[in-house]
Structure 1
């Protein structure tokens, strides 16, 4: 019996179908049986391309990671070297825009070691841009991780419903009752992402100032 043709096109189709299924119904909906049904093939066919479900999930991670870093590099392309604030904002905005297209895959992307080549190349790009700003490598890494953690938190929160507790639940909670009224009048108050990013940028500016002026102590 001839060996099956393991074409990259077919492998890519499987990964795209898996991403679409996760986007539509969540990670728990993904199984080899369900995916095979979506593709109109027999379950064992998938094992010609992926040894098991874990290897399929790794391919899904790589697919989404590539999308994330492509978006980030597009945002960074027109930012001048040394402009660390715009570089960090470009990273967070670009990565968050990509993750917003896959809100049900956020947990998947946050799990596991960062060994995907697309992710490692992205890290290399960010470290390069930040060390160009004059920061030592270790500090650049810590600052990048802070921005990445904020991005993942914001991506996770973006998929949650707005905070709007029923009046009967806040009858004896005056601050939350007042907050609910303010949120109803101005829904943008329920988005802490911009405030968090502004605070992160401001704190990094203080840290950078302390690094460049050793007589000034950075906050801990």
Structure 2
């Protein structure tokens, strides 16, 4: 039998399938045994490409972060760039919510994550932010974006009016939050982002005064 033109297994296929498992069933569902089964290979084959499961998880996390657009830095004024980047960052995380708890820990040695951190920090410093404040802004934005992508605020409320009728009258309309969940969550993110950037612009002017 002739050999196949392409290898049966490569890092890209492993990472793609690992992300699919995490997206479907969460971080705890990822194991080398399940990964090998879904790739139709033996588990030891994975170790030709990754030494450990942790390396696979790191590569999957970095592939998600690599989806974040960074092209606005160096092209747009820092308030606009920060706003556009935050939206792109949230979109990438929201597409893979089960991975967010792992991604929220920081970049570690992951190349795409380090490029992201360097792009944000470098753009802020180049714009005139002191290094200390630039570091704080990068951390603050990660907290805000990761938190917004971790889960839906609106979808966390039961859609049964009886839950609120007696004891929680101020939440009498909360049963409709699920119905408008996407708009509520998006609106909350945009309001928070606008407030953060506006506050930073005031702070920036104070620093320059």
- Cα shift readout 1:166-189 (whole Å, capped 9, x = no counterpart): 2222122111114446x4786534
* Structure 1 equivalent of residue 53 of structure 2: 53
Matches within 5 A, 1:4-43: 10-43=10-43
- Cα shift readout 1:95-150 (whole Å, capped 9, x = no counterpart): 11111221211112113553222222222211221122211111112112212211
State which drifts further: 158-167 or 9-18.
158-167
Structure 2 Cα separation of the partners of residues 151 and 85 of structure 1: 16
* Structure 1 equivalent of residue 99 of structure 2: 105
* Structure 2 equivalent of residue 173 of structure 1: 168
CA contact (8 A) 2:104 2:142 kept: no
Alignment pair present for 1:150 and 2:144: yes
TM-score of the two chains, using structure 2 as the length reference: 0.83
TM-score of the two chains, using structure 1 as the length reference: 0.80
Structure 2 Cα separation of the partners of residues 175 and 129 of structure 1: 44
Structure 1 Cα separation of the partners of residues 87 and 196 of structure 2: 14
Structure 1 Cα separation of the partners of residues 127 and 21 of structure 2: 41
* Structure 2 equivalent of residue 3 of structure 1: none
Shift of 1:48: 2.1
What 5-or-longer segments of structure 1 have no aligned partner?
Answer: 1-6, 214-220
Q: CA RMSD in A?
A: 2.6
Shift of 1:10: 0.9
What 5-or-longer segments of structure 2 have no aligned partner?
Answer: 1-6
- Cα shift readout 1:2-45 (whole Å, capped 9, x = no counterpart): xxxxx7x6122111111111112221221111111100011222
